[in-house]
Structure 1
Amino acid sequence: MALLLYPHTFEAMKMSKLYVICQLLGWATYISIAFILNQLSNVPAGPELTVSLWSAFVLGLLISHAYREIIIRNRWLELSISKMIPRFILGSLTMALAFQLFYSGLSFILFQNSKRIEFGLLVQEFAGWIVLFLLWSLIYFFYHFFKNYKQEEIKNLRWEAAINEMELNKLKSQLNPHFIFNAMNSIRALVDESPKKAKMGITQLSNILRSNLLMGRQKLIPFSDELKLVKDYLAIESYRYEERLKVEIHIDEQSSNFLVPPLMVQTIVENGIKHGIAHLPKGGTLSLKSMVVEGLVVIEVTNPGQYHEEKKAETGFGLVNTRERLRLLFGAPSSLTIKNLNKSEVITTIKFPLKFNDL
C-alpha cells in the first residue's frame, strides 16, 4: 500500500523521491501490522515468521512497482472512468494472483511446509492479497485524480488570469486616449481665452503623460501617485472653470500606502466635473474623500448636480470601464455606485479590498 506520485509525463520513468518513500512506508506499515496480528494470535516470532514477512515486503515492493509500470506504459490514467474501472479491478486481481504464486512458492521452497499449499489456506491468503492490492490501487488512482484535479485547477486559474490580463490591458489602452482627449479639450478651450493658462495647462498635461508612462502596465499603483495625477488634472480644469470649480480633498492617513488601479480616481473626478459642475453656471464644490472601512478602501467623490437613473447610460465610457476593471481586479467585494446625496449633490462611491504597498 502506498501513496504514489505519478510522473509529469508518461515518458519520464524515473521514480520520484515521494514514490520511493511512500512505497517503503506503505509496505513497512503492512508488514508491521501483520507482525502485530501474528503476535496477538500467539504465532512464534521465529525465523520462519521473519523470513515470511521480509519476503512479503520485498514481493510487495516489486509486484506493486511492476503494476505501476503497467499502468504507466498502457496509459490507463488517460482513460475514462468506465474504461479504467475494469482495468483497475483486473489489475488488482492479477497482481494478487502473482503475489500469491510467488509467496506460496517461495515459502514452500524455503520451509518445505505442505500446509502452505492447502487449498483452503491459499483461498484465504489470496482473498487477503486481493483486498491489499485493491487498496493499493485505490490509493494510487485517488492520488492521481486529486493531483490532476489540482493541476487542472491551476491551469484554469492561469488561463483565467491571462484572459483577465488581456481584458485589463485592453481597458487601460482604451482609457488613456479617452483621458488625454478630454484633457486636451480642456486646454484647447483656454488657447483663445488665456494663452498663459493654456501654457500652464500643457505643463500639467505633460506631468500627467509622464506619470502615465511611469505607470506602464501596472495593475495597481500607490494612492499617493494617483492623487498627484488627480491634482494635475484638477489644475488643468481649474484653468478652464476658474472660480466655478472649488475642490476639497480629505484623505485618510493610510491613503499614501494603499494601492488603486491607475486613473480610477481621476475617472470619477472627471465624471463629477463633466456631468455636474460643467452644467452649472455658478459651478460648485467637488469633494474627494478616502477612508478605510472594515478592510475595504472607500473613495467618495461628491459633486453638485442630480443623478437621473433613466440617463445613466450618459454617464460615459469612463465609469463603465472603471466598473469592469474593478470586477477583473477585485471581484465581488468591489463596487462602484452613483446616487443622489441630497437634492443638489451626487455622490460616487468606489469600494475595493485594501491592499498595501510594501515598498
Structure 2
Amino acid sequence: MPPFENILVDANRQRARGRLYVICQLVGFTLLFFAQLFFAHFFKNPDTGYGSLSFTDVLTQFHSVFVGLIVTHFSRRYIDAWGWKEHGWLKLLPRMVAMAIAMAVVWTILAQGWYFGVMRHEFPENILPPLLFLIGILNSSFITMGWLSVYFIYHVFDRFNRSEIARLRLAAVVKEAELRALKSQVNPHFIFNSLNSVRALIDEDPQRARSAVTQLANMLRYSLQSGSNQTVPFEDELTVVNDYLALEQVRHEERLRLKLDIAPGTLRRVLPPMLLQTLVENAVKYGISTRASGGEVSIAARIENHDLLIEVRNPGHLSERRDRVNSESTGLGLRNALDRLQLLCGDDATIDLRQTGADEVTATVVVPQSNVDLASPRLKAEPRATLKPALSER
C-alpha cells in the first residue's frame, strides 16, 4: 500500500477510535446515571426501602454523573500526553491505582462540594463529614478504576492490532521487493537464450530470422506487460510458450516435438507470469538439447482439488542431486519459479521434479487458487506465429 494511502487509512482509523470513545462515554455514563437514580430512589426512605425523588435529587445525580464524565475525559488527555498506553501491565498497574484515587478525590470534591455547598444540603446526623468524604472517594474509586481498566484493556488490544497491521504491511513490502527481484532475474534468463536462437538464423535463413524476431518481440512484450501483474491467466502462458517453442524449433528442427493435454477449465486459472515458460525451457534444456535424437515435450494441465495442476514431461534422467527442485543443478530458473510461486500462493504451492519413467522426467506444479487473484486481467492479445506440424496438439 502506498505511503499516502497508509496515511489516509491511519487517519480514518483514528477518527473511528475517537467516535467509539465518545459513544462509550455517553452510553456508559448514561447507564451510570440511571443506576444512581435507581439506588437513590430505593434508599430514599431507610424505613420503607423506597421513596419518591424530587427534581433536586435528580439534578444532584445528574451533576454527579456529569462531573464523572468531565473528570474521566480530562484524565484521558493526561494519560495520552504521558504515554501510559504504551506501558506494560507491571509498569501500568501502580499508575492506574494512583490515577483512579486522584480522579475519585477530584470527583468527590466537586460532587459533594456542589451538593453540600451550592445546594446547601445538611450533613447526615449519623455520619461525620470526613467519613462521608472518604466513603465518597471509595465509591468513586471503584468507578474510576473500572473506567481505567476498560480504557487500558481496549488500548492493549488496539496496540496489538496496530502492531499486527504494521507487521503485515512490512511483510507485504518485503514480499513485493522479493517478487520484483526474482522477476528481474527471470526476464534476462529467457531473453538471452532466445537471442542465441535468433542469431543462428541470421546468415542461414533471413526470412525465418525475421519471423523469429517477431516471436521474440511477442515474448518481450508479454514479459513487459506481465511484469506489473502478480498473476496471469494460464491461457496467456500457453500463448507465450507457443512463441518460445517456435524459437527453439529454429535450433532443434524436427528434434523438438510437443504434445498438449489441456483441460478446458484450466485456461482461465491464474499463475505467476513466466512460470510455465520456465518449466518448458527447463524441459528443452535438459531433455531435448542434450540428445542427438531430440524428444517430445508434453504439457498437461487439469484442475485437482480446486487447484491448478500442471505437468511438463521430457525425456531424460535425474541424478540423486537433481531429485529436489532447490538443488544447484536445476539452475536459477526453477528455483526462482518455486520462490515466486510460494511467495504468491503460500507453502501449499509446490514444484516437484521427479523421474517418472525409465527415460522420462516430470515437473509437477500445484498452483493453489484460493490465495491468488482469480480475476487477473487478460493481457493484450498479439498475433502469434503458428507452430510447425512437428509441434502438434494431442
Q: Does 1:242 align with 2:253?
A: yes
Given that residues 222 and 260 in structure 1 are in contact (C-alpha distance below 8 angstroms), is that contact kept between their aligned partners in structure 2?
yes
Aligned to 2:281: 270
Per-residue CA shift, 1:41-94, capped at 9, x if unaligned? 643240254223212220111110111121123232344544433222211110
Q: Does 1:16 align with 2:31?
A: no
Aligned pair count reads 349
Given that residues 252 and 290 in structure 1 are in contact (C-alpha distance below 8 angstroms), is that contact kept between their aligned partners in structure 2?
yes
Q: Does 1:184 align with 2:189?
A: no
Given that residues 306 and 346 in structure 1 are in contact (C-alpha distance below 8 angstroms), is that contact kept between their aligned partners in structure 2?
yes
Aligned to 1:3: none
The letter of the residue matching 2:329 is E
Distance 1:192 1:98, change over 3 A: same
Alignment partner of 1:299 out of 306, 310, 331: 310
Q: Does 1:44 align with 2:44?
A: no
Distance 1:356 1:78, change over 3 A: closer
Distance 1:45 1:222, change over 3 A: farther
* Distance across 1 between alignment mates of 2:136 and 2:355: 81
* Distance across 2 between alignment mates of 1:284 and 1:218: 34
Aligned to 1:325: 340
Given that residues 108 and 137 in structure 2 are in contact (C-alpha distance below 8 angstroms), is that contact kept between their aligned partners in structure 1?
yes
Mean alpha-carbon deviation: is it higher for 118-127 or for 205-214? Answer: 118-127
Mean alpha-carbon deviation: is it higher for 262-271 or for 112-121? Answer: 112-121
* Distance across 2 between alignment mates of 1:242 and 1:74: 77
1:254 positional shift:
2.9
Specify every segment of 5 or more residues in structure 2 that has no aligned partner in the other structure, as ranges: 1-9, 44-48, 378-394
Aligned to 1:219: 230
* Distance across 1 between alignment mates of 2:24 and 2:273: 50
SS at match of 1:276: helix
SS at match of 2:296: strand
* Distance across 1 between alignment mates of 2:311 and 2:18: 56
Aligned to 1:147: 158
Aligned to 2:242: 231
Alignment partner of 2:179 out of 156, 161, 168: 168
Aligned to 2:104: 96
Distance 1:187 1:58, change over 3 A: same
SS at match of 1:347: strand
Question: TM-score when scaled to structure 1?
Answer: 0.88
**What is the root-mean-square deviation in Å for CA atoms of aligned residues?**
2.5
Aligned to 2:30: 28
* Distance across 1 between alignment mates of 2:219 and 2:365: 22
Specify every segment of 5 or more residues in structure 1 that has no aligned partner in the other structure, as ranges: 1-7
Aligned to 2:268: 257
SS at match of 1:289: strand
* Distance across 1 between alignment mates of 2:30 and 2:170: 42
* Distance across 1 between alignment mates of 2:105 and 2:283: 80
Distance 1:240 1:104, change over 3 A: same
User: Identity percentage over the alignment?
Assistant: 33
1:121 positional shift:
4.7
The letter of the residue matching 2:29 is W
* Distance across 2 between alignment mates of 1:93 and 1:72: 18
Alignment partner of 1:112 out of 102, 121, 128: 121
Aligned to 1:4: none
Per-residue CA shift, 1:317-340, capped at 9, x if unaligned? 100111111122122121111111
SS at match of 2:364: strand
Mean alpha-carbon deviation: is it higher for 274-283 or for 71-80? Answer: 71-80
Question: TM-score when scaled to structure 2?
Answer: 0.81
1:191 positional shift:
4.1
1:232 positional shift:
0.6
* Distance across 1 between alignment mates of 2:165 and 2:252: 52
Given that residues 104 and 117 in structure 1 are in contact (C-alpha distance below 8 angstroms), is that contact kept between their aligned partners in structure 2?
no
1:38 positional shift:
4.8
Given that residues 330 and 353 in structure 1 are in contact (C-alpha distance below 8 angstroms), is that contact kept between their aligned partners in structure 2?
yes
Aligned to 1:5: none
Distance 1:325 1:117, change over 3 A: farther
Aligned to 2:62: 54
Aligned to 1:138: 149
1:18 positional shift:
2.5
Q: Does 1:313 align with 2:328?
A: yes
Aligned to 2:357: 342
More helix by share: 1
Given that residues 42 and 51 in structure 2 are in contact (C-alpha distance below 8 angstroms), is that contact kept between their aligned partners in structure 1?
no
